[in-house]
Amino acid sequence: MRTDEASHSADQQDSGLRGDGGVIQLVSPEGDLVGDLDFDPWVEDVSDEQLSSLYEDMVVIRRIDTEATYLQRQGELALWPPLLGQEAAQIGSARALRSDDFVFSSYRENGVAYCRGVDYGDIVRVWRGNAHSGWDPYELNMATPQVIIGAQTLHATGYAMGIKNDGGTSVAVTYFGDGATSEGDVNEALVFAASFQVPVIFFCQNNQWAISEPVGLQSQISIASRAKGFGIPSLRVDGNDVLAVMAATRLALHRARNGGGPTFIEAVTYRMGPHTTADDPSRYRDANELEIWAAKDPLARVRALLENKGIFTPELEASVAAKTDAVAKEMREACINMPDPLPMDVFAHVYSTPNTTLETQKEHYLRYLDTFAGERSEGISR
């Protein structure tokens, strides 16, 4: 699938920016192609085979999400942040990126991690409590998930400043939720990105709920409209439409690569599950609301499109099912068979170079462990 947006001219790149107007949609909830002169060209190269691949991606990450939820309920994970309902937003955007683009995500972008090639065991490693982080950011060009709400937007903006100073063409992309837009970090990142016109995409997944608070409580206008106050062009896209999300992301990437600076994308979607597995959304959310959004299910939409095009075959369905089963099995086995960390591993990778404070803490902890028979970790130098 093409990830190079250079075929589009500079006058095209700003023609469809919609921060105030209607939501960008290319595929209706019934699976019909809607048609949009501004955004259809950005996905005209997506073949039937590639569309089928996008569907497979979405089914796979939903299965990853479901399996991880089961693992948490069975005591194998301490916590899990579900992405149920946000598959199109994550797959449509992640599959538009180049390998040298750098992703800065929150804790919910496990679908993006899948697209970046993160091992299934590494996706759940932190949630099992076995490591400080799940993977090496520099191997995959994706930072490990940020739990501090909105902090990753500052990291992305700083990285993008480095890209610009180095004269590079890669782009920093940061993912966050609607609730994060109320955080000072996000607003500071928007100020810096606009001031220095750096190549960064702010990708907000507006899933309607910041834990138990509805989006309407924190924003009296569309979130995309708020970006204009910082001088940043914005797009408001149907986050349950994988093609619309891909088109919007490709446009934003093209702007960034060609000196157009930052873009803010609001993907309007819905968190169909709890905020985390420690949350009970039935305490604050109307069941009728969930029913309304279930009719807009991103997986059902792309499947309907495939059916309308006559390419959703029994063979495709069987192939996707086999892939999801294999992924779920591999992730479950990786999780359950993951070795427990040694006691002294808590000090590993905290600092890039040794320092006396850390060494003193290690010494004190070793003495503490010595008071418990068999608890001391061997192989750690004093």
Positions marked active-site: 271, 275, 284
DSSP per residue, 214-244: EHHHH-SS-HHHHHHTTT--EEEEETT-HHH
Contact between residue 83 and residue 110 where contact means Cβ atoms under 8 Å apart: yes
Query: What is the C-alpha to C-alpha distance for residues 42 and 113, in angstroms, rounded to an integer?
Result: 24
Structure token digits, residue 311: 């390419």
Q: Amino acid identity of 102?
A: F
- Which string of b and e fits 8-32 if b means at least 16 CB within 10 Å? beeeebeebbbbeeebbbbbebebe
Return the DSSP state at 265. E
| Phi, psi of 204, deg, nearest 5 | -95, 120
Query: What is the C-alpha to C-alpha distance for residues 195 and 140, in angstroms, rounded to an integer?
Result: 29
Instruction: Give the CA dihedral 293, 299, 305, 309, nearest 10 degrees.
Output: -160
Closest CA to 327 of 89, 90, 85, 62: 62
Contact between residue 62 and residue 300 where contact means Cβ atoms under 8 Å apart: no
DSSP E strands: which ranges in 207-324? 209-210, 213-214, 234-238, 263-268
For residue 323, with 0-12 CB atoms within 10 Å meaning exposed, 13-18 middle and 19 or more buried, which class applies? middle
Counting Cα atoms < 13 Å in the Cβ hemisphere of 29 gives 7
